[in-house]
Structure 1
Amino acid sequence: MKQSLFTFIKSLREFLENKLNQYNTTLPYVITVIIALIIVVGGINLFVELTETLKTEMLANYDTAITDYIVSRRTPGLTNYFKFMTNVGDTYGYLIVLSIFLLVSLLVFKRWKYIVQATLVLALATVSNMMLKRFIDRARPGIEHLVSVETLSYPSGHAMSAMAFYGFLIFLVIKFDIQKVFKYILVIVLLTVILSIGISRIYLGVHFPSDIAGGFIAGFIWVVFCVLVFDLIQLFKRDPKT
């Protein structure tokens, strides 16, 4: 994505230099920011539309049908698995993953940048989730909870943080110069983690499916926004004309 943006800016500069005698060197970066905002605003609109349907009968029917199907599949083995996955998407789980990622960043890539970026994405998702929960104020499902919960329901903090953090790790994996087979394996593992954390919250009875959908959408918004901002910052550093 970074290379594509850099090529786009270079092409735009050449076009403007050829067609327009007075070229504004900041224009390409302004356009890049506008593209980022369009993507983010589109995601926000989708999130808002879903939020506005929370109290509709149609969404309630979907939530009930999906929840009943997932809960009906409860077994001791699956319960242990989904409890483990929900812990992976909790505070201690992220601390462990961040510690491992810190070692990889320092020993393999020899730079702090990636761990700082991943931590920032996770922090933004966590803080914004707490604000959204307070604003929307949706109660938890009334069915049996297999784990204890204290906060409100929508959007799911586990789903939102998982999509933001592990989604950003997927971006980094795709970006890293490693063998394709390892890229595919890591991407599949990270996608499985994201989906498993989301499903675990329904399975354990603490979230509606729409909570998970809202969390995934909001988390994806943060991934796209942060990736574009990080790349834009890098482009400013690389561009000799700025």
Structure 2
Amino acid sequence: MDAKLPSSSDGILRGFHRDGMWLIVSLFGAGSLLLSFGLLAEEVIEGDTRGFDRAVLLAFRNAGDPSNPVGPPWLEEMGRDVTSLGSFAFLAFVSVAAVGYLLITRERWYAALVALAVVGGEIISTLLKIAFDRPRPDVIHSVRVFTASFPSGHAMLSAVTFLTLGTLLAKANPDRRVKAYFISLALFLTVMVGLSRVYLGVHYPTDVLAGWCVGSAWAILCWCFIRWAEVRRSR
């Protein structure tokens, strides 16, 4: 008896099933991150994180002179260099370059993904800062700040931008080791930017945690929306 070869329709159905499972898992992950943000925000509003915030913040300061971070002067300068990777200007340049490349290569859906993620992330960050209006830490720092403290905009936007671009680069390469490298690099850059904000004394650790939660959730939701739109368009 001849073996039955899989039809093209079977492959399409398997593809839809696989995309559906990934969509469910991704939405669950985004929901968990948003729930974590909500619980964290509630604790911050009630003042229950003051002891933790203060202890971690002071752990990065010189015991004899809390106005200075721990370590030699070159380490503080390095911290400022790292924190600039999460600045709106740098991330805007990187995002515009990525969108331009994707448009040239006719990857319009992914160009829309980057634009939606970054622009939407900046809007959400601004609205959340206005809503919570948390004062910045009262330690002396050498980095100028212009907005409220919660959540950290650098942490949030770096998570949105680096995770979105890292996922795109991973998707473009079939080698799993390369995929893991790009995702790991995106996570590393996101974490380092967030830590630099606490090290420089411009954010409480809960600001950074909140930024990571919202930024990662928004990046996942944007990716889910684009994948859903792609699947619907291919039917």
Identity of aligned residues (%): 24
Structure-1 residue corresponding to 2:16? 6
Aligned 8 A contact 2:156 2:214 in 1: yes
- Using the TM superposition, give the Cα deviation of residue 38 of structure 1 relative to its aligned residue in structure 2, in angstroms: 5.1
**Partner residue in 2 for 1:68:** 58
Q: Residues 135 and 95 from structure 1, CA distance in 2 versus in 1: closer, same or farther, beyond 3 angstroms?
A: closer
Off by >6 Å, runs of 4+ in structure 1? 31-36
Shift, 1:127, TM fit: 0.4
Q: Superposed, which structure 2 residues align to 1:120-139 within 5 Å? A: 120-139=116-135
Amino acid at match of 1:158: H
Cα RMSD, aligned residues only: 2.8
Q: Is the contact made by 2:171 and 2:179 (CA closer than 8 Å) also made in structure 1?
A: no
Assess if the C-alpha contact under 8 Å between 1:63 and 1:209 holds in 2: yes
Deviation at 1:100, TM superposition (A): 4.0
Q: 2:221 aligns with which of 211, 219, 225?
A: 225
SS of 2:44's equivalent in the other structure is: coil
Which ranges of structure 2 fall in alignment gaps of 5 or more residues? 1-12, 63-69
Q: 1:181 and 1:205 mapped to 2: Cα distance? A: 36
CA distance in 1, matches of 2:47, 2:124: 27
Q: d(CA) in 1 for partners of 2:24 and 2:131?
A: 27
Give me the TM-score of the superposition, normalised by structure 1: 0.78
CA distance in 1, matches of 2:185, 2:27: 30
Counterpart CA distance in 2 for 1:42 and 1:95 is: 28
Shift of 1:133: 0.9
How far, CA to CA, are the matches of 1:90 and 1:192 in structure 2? 16
Distance 1:185 1:39 in 2: 21
**Unmatched 5+ stretches in structure 1:** 10-27
Matches within 5 A, 1:189-204: 189-204=185-200
Letter of the 2:234 partner, please give it.
Answer: R
Aligned to 1:14: none
Shift of the alpha carbon at 1:58? 4.6
Shift in CA distance, 192/234, structure 1 to aligned 2, threshold 3 Å: same
Deviation at 1:238, TM superposition (A): 1.3
